[in-house]
Amino acid sequence: MSVHREFVPNNEKYVSSFDKGHLALPPARHLTVVTCMDARIEPASQLGINLGDAHVIRNAGGSTKEALRSIVISQRLLGTREVAVFHHTGCGMLTFTNEHLRDKVKSEAPGNEVVAKAVDSIDFLPFPQLEESVKADVKFLKENPLLLEGTTVTGWTYDVTTGKIKQVV
């Protein structure tokens, strides 16, 4: 059974006690969190962020490069002034290279040049070392001309086995 069949009954329960309809569009804490799409990560409870407090931008690995479009919107249109970058232990991004994934996609569509060209054009942004990748992503953001001057940027790791966070930069 597809999971989506559970959405409506679950949502009805949520709506029955929902009382946050008054929240404003701009995040109340002026914070943007960039983190991985990993299913074990749930920034709201892990960091004490309430509904309406922050933007949470998620992608494979928690890449600031990929998140840049959303960060510019978050800062320029919705007033956020702080960015916290989280990468985590056991991340899938530590387990492959661009060549790996490109070869896999191509082998699943043998002889298909359209697929080959499309997948070759994507940098999947894998990384071989956790803390170094946090530092590199924070550096990318701090050096980016589109980041608002004076933005506080911090970098962190999250341990999926203990639930603990650690500041790296």
Using CB under 5 A, which of the segments 32-40, 50-58, 74-82, 161-169 binds Zn ion? 32-40
Min CB(50)–Zn ion separation in Å = 24
Min CB(84)–Zn ion separation in Å = 16
By CB under 5 A, tell whether 119 contacts Zn ion.
no
Q: Please say which residue, 36 or 71, places its beta carbon nearer to Zn ion.
A: 36
3 state DSSP class of 35: strand
Nearest to 141 by CA among 124, 133, 159: 133
Q: Please say which residue, 63 or 75, places its beta carbon nearer to Zn ion.
A: 63
Binding residues for Zn(2+): 36, 38, 88, 91
Using CB under 5 A, which residues numbered 85 to 114 contact Zn ion? Answer: 91
By CB under 5 A, tell whether 38 contacts Zn ion.
yes
N-terminal to C-terminal alpha carbon distance within the chain: 44
Min CB(88)–Zn ion separation in Å = 5
Q: Please say which residue, 27 or 61, places its beta carbon nearer to Zn ion.
A: 61
Q: Give me the long-range contacts of 143-150 (CB less than 8 A, separation at least 24).
A: 144/68, 146/68, 146/71, 146/72, 147/71, 147/75, 147/83, 148/75, 148/76, 148/81, 150/81
The residues pairing with 83 across neighbouring beta strands, listed in sequence order, are: 32, 153
Question: What does the alpha-carbon distance between residue 146 and residue 75 come to, in Å, rounded to a whole number?
Answer: 10
Question: What does the alpha-carbon distance between residue 66 and residue 20 come to, in Å, rounded to a whole number?
Answer: 30
Min CB(125)–Zn ion separation in Å = 11
Site residues (vs Zn ion, CB under 5 A): 36, 38, 91
